[in-house]
A = this chain, B = another copy of it.
């Protein structure tokens, strides 16, 4: 299994670093190879092509991301608490790894439509976690049962994504994690008094 050989992770981590430092368009395969300490050609023993590096990068990182969130959520039985936890962990994961935040929020979005579609596929795992929480809240009566689940998921994800992107674009100069409860409040209570 290629994914377990040391160079696989080595190349993915090099890719994160190179993209964070140079930006998406200035991240040539040769730069990633150099940073990973392998020859250009070696990359192609582990990845089908450049796009495959980026998709794999996203899969690896997002996989850990979702896994961590799922574990944390399990410690709660209440949908609203689970949602707060999801927000906190989401923010925490990105706040603790600035490079990864830049890469996922800004750089990877410059990729072409096909790559973005594949990234969306990877995101589905995350959206399902949101879905489960919403589902639970709607079933146990803590959330409004007349909501369109798809729209709820889009509101939650759109809000989290937009807040993180703004934080990254503002050079991460305020605390992302401290916003968690306020954002949770907005999502659960809405704007109305």
Task: List the B residue with the shortest CB-CB distance to A190.
Answer: B190
Chain A residues touching B, majority SS: helix
Contacts of A169 in B (CB 8 A): 117, 120
> Is A148 in contact with chain B by the CB < 8 A criterion?
yes
A112 touches B23 (CB 8 A): yes
B23 touches A155 (CB 8 A): no
Contacts known (A116-B106, A169-B117); A155 close to B192, Cβ less than 8 A: no
Q: Which residues of A contact B (CB under 8 A)?
A: 23-25, 80, 83, 106-107, 109-113, 116-117, 120, 134, 137, 141-145, 147-148, 150-152, 154-155, 157-163, 166, 169, 179, 182-183, 185-193
Q: A158-B161, A158-B163, A190-B190 are in contact. List 16 more A-B contacts (CB 8 A).
A: A23-B112, A83-B191, A106-B116, A109-B109, A120-B169, A141-B193, A143-B193, A150-B166, A151-B179, A151-B182, A155-B155, A155-B186, A159-B159, A187-B190, A189-B189, A189-B192
